Amino acid sequence: MIEKILLANSGTGHSEEMLKALMDIPSIQRAKVTVLHVVPAQTSAEAMTEKWEEGGKVLANAIQSLKLDPNHVNAMLRQGDPKDVVCRVAEEIDADLIIMGSRGLKRIMSILENSVSQYVFQLSSRPMLLVKDDIYVKKIKRVMVAIDKSEASKTCLKLALFLLRDIKGSQLTLVHVDPSMGAKTEQKKGAEAEKDAVLAAAIAEVKKMGVAYQCISAVGKPGELICSIAEDTHADLLVLGSPDRRPSIAKGLPDLDRLLGTSLSDYVRVYANCPVLLARTAG
């Protein structure tokens, strides 16, 4: 399911550590990895030459650090605007997953500061794994999936099961949050949570795969609850659906709801204390 990974490497952050953690997972180990470094355009030929040399060193260091099978890794150095180049290369190689570092900038600030990860998140239809600069990347054993009735949620569950199916001692946490306005925040766990009708189909899928799981059913503000539950359950990875609500005529334009920070995925992207895998399904 994840056969081609694009690592957008800026030379900073924890994206390389995240890829290493993923490559420890049996189901990922055969994936082909493209490590991309983008050199922005410079004002002079001399400056451009210097940046190309720096970029080459960043790539070489990344390849050496990752210790991947040479047959399964491709180093790519490109010139241009990083935001556009990452999106373009993801299409070129038909990436199943994009891994990027993120400063975790809050909402409108990420637009004003020209966030590369925010831009790519808006415009790419591919699953995207965001790793904030201020988190600790851990070995992946505990994965949390936010479940609702959307197709994107089903995609998230499939991704999580793909990752966990061959990991010994793994656990999947299925979480459904009912965003009832004005309702008192509450959580149910265990047998009580399994009565949640929204979780029923997901539970059936997990049981088929034989993956250990736990359920949490909650009422309250989804963004806050998802982030707090991820922290409480010590999730190593949080998987969240991000349905694309834009009409087809506007596919090349940013989703203003997300840019202005009103979406669940934007909130979780900023506040979760673990890496966040955002899976998007058109519709």
CATH of residue 116's domain is: 3.40.50.620
Using CA atoms, how far apart are residues 182 and 277, in angstroms rounded to an integer?
29
Write down the pLDDT at residue 113. 46
Same domain, 124 and 251: no
Picking from 91, 111, 132, the residue at the C-terminal end of a domain is 132
Same domain, 171 and 127: no
Per the structure, the complete domain to which residue 22 belongs is given by: 4-132
Domain membership of residue 37 (yes or no) is yes
Same domain, 125 and 192: no
- The region of weakest confidence among 74-88, 153-167, 175-189 is 175-189
Same domain, 99 and 160: no
Same domain, 151 and 275: yes
Tell me, what DSSP letter sits at residue 235? -
**Is residue 109 scored above 60 in pLDDT?**
no
**Is residue 211 scored above 70 in pLDDT?**
yes
Using CA atoms, how far apart are residues 218 and 187, in angstroms rounded to an integer?
4
What's the number of domains the chain is made of? 2
Domain membership of residue 137 (yes or no) is no
For the entire predicted model, the pTM comes to 0.86
pLDDT-derived band at 270, boundaries 50, 70, 90: confident
Same domain, 30 and 156: no
pLDDT by residue (tens digit) across 112-139?
445 677 778 777 889 999 898 878 899 9
Helix spans in the chain (H): 15-23, 45-66, 82-92, 108-112, 116-123, 151-164, 190-193, 200-209, 222-232, 256-259, 264-271
Using CA atoms, how far apart are residues 174 and 196, in angstroms rounded to an integer?
11
Same domain, 114 and 218: no
Q: Which two tokens stand for residue 48?
A: 């451009």
Picking from 79, 110, 132, the residue at the C-terminal end of a domain is 132
Using CA atoms, how far apart are residues 241 and 233, in angstroms rounded to an integer?
19
**Is residue 107 scored above 50 in pLDDT?**
no
**Is residue 283 scored above 50 in pLDDT?**
no
pLDDT-derived band at 245, boundaries 50, 70, 90: very low
Picking from 97, 112, 132, the residue at the C-terminal end of a domain is 132
Same domain, 164 and 270: yes
Mean of the pLDDT values across residues 55-62? 87
pLDDT-derived band at 12, boundaries 50, 70, 90: low
Same domain, 155 and 262: yes
Write down the pLDDT at residue 244. 55
pLDDT by residue (tens digit) across 138-147?
999 999 999 9
Domain membership of residue 228 (yes or no) is yes
Q: Which two tokens stand for residue 65?
A: 């650090």
Using CA atoms, how far apart are residues 104 and 102, in angstroms rounded to an integer?
5
Mean of the pLDDT values across residues 25-43? 90
pLDDT averaged over every residue in the chain:
85
Same domain, 229 and 207: yes
